[in-house]
Amino acid sequence: MELNTSNTDCLLIIDVQNDFCSGGALAVPDADSVVASINQLSQQFDNVVATQDWHPPQHSSFASVHSGRSPMDQIDMPYGPQTLWPDHCIQGSHGAEFHADLTMHAVQNIIRKGFRQPIDSYSAFFENDHTTTTGLSGYLKERGIKRVYCVGLALDFCVRFSAEDARKEGFETVVIENACRGIDIDGSVDAARQAMLECGVSLV
Ligand code: VGL
Ligand code: ZN
């Protein structure tokens, strides 16, 4: 895909990590096929930032720490509903590393998220309490970024909430769908598309 980018555009590469790719603990269907598209896109941007899901062992989003619960169950956390996941992206593990074929040399900053034990973080901007910030908004604003292009994994979780928050933070926001893949629990990909459009995110 050829884009007409300017130096106020930033490509935001979300969670292209081994655990979300084939053979990973929380493998997203067909995830590996986004790598080539993203590598091609990152050559077209002056500004590239990546996120890295980065959980401590025993993170509260892991089904394994809630007795009697299974991955994909929903529970109520103090900050709202939370889907439970298999253990994934544990700090320092192979699963938390970026996909080996993802070109990282253009990436200027890596935002780690989900490192607080009691709270999950889907969005690159805010944790799931919608209050605790990762600092990304201020970083992009200080660098004069006006538009954010989101790509990566998973379309219906981290890409969705990152795109919605980018929009809420005042960035023009574009999701490049063919460089994303979703988990799709009970129609969550369609719901994500709908919610992003309602927030004013462009899907291309
Ligand atoms: C993600 C579930 C749990 C994602 C991260 O990157 O979409 N999904 N942690
Ligand atoms: Zn996670």
pLDDT in tens, 57-77: 999 999 999 999 999 999 999
Q: How far is the CA of 200 from the centre of ligand 2 (A)?
A: 25
The confidence band for 104, taking pLDDT boundaries of 50, 70 and 90, is very high
- For residue 196, is pLDDT > 90? yes
Main-chain phi, psi angles of 187, to 5 degrees: 75, 20
- Best CA proximity match to 167, nearest among 124, 110, 114: 124
- For residue 135, is pLDDT > 90? yes
Portion of the chain with pLDDT greater than 70, in percent: 100
Tell me, using a 6 A CB cutoff, whether residue 164 lines ligand 1. Answer: no
- For residue 1, is pLDDT > 90? no
49/149 Cα distance (integer angstroms): 10
Let me know how long the chain is.
Answer: 204
- Best CA proximity match to 47, nearest among 89, 2, 108, 88: 108
Fold of domain 9-55+85-203? Rossmann fold (3.40.50)
Active site residue 113: yes
87/81 Cα distance (integer angstroms): 18
- For residue 48, is pLDDT > 90? yes
Active site residue 101: no
Active site residue 158: yes
- For residue 159, is pLDDT > 90? yes
Q: Provide CB contacts within 8 A for 168, sequence distance 6+.
A: 199
Determine which one of 9, 21, 87, 113 is catalytic: 113
What is the secondary structure of 113-152 as a DSSP string?
Answer: E--STT----SSSB-TTS-SB-SHHHHHHHTT--EEEEEE
Main-chain phi, psi angles of 81, to 5 degrees: -65, 145
Of all ligands present, the nearest one to the C-alpha of 90 is 2
The confidence band for 147, taking pLDDT boundaries of 50, 70 and 90, is very high
Q: Candidates 34, 64, 157, 180: which one to mutate for ligand 1, based on the most atoms within 8 Å of Cβ?
A: 157
Please report the pLDDT score of residue 65 as a whole number: 98
Per-domain boundaries in the chain: 9-55+85-203
Number of alpha helices (DSSP H) and beta strands (DSSP E) in the chain: 4, 8
Portion of the chain with pLDDT greater than 90, in percent: 99
Mean pLDDT for 165-178 is 98
Please report the pLDDT score of residue 189 as a whole number: 98
Main-chain phi, psi angles of 126, to 5 degrees: -135, 150
Average pLDDT value for the chain? 97
Which residue's CA is the closest to the ligand 1 atom numbered 8?
157
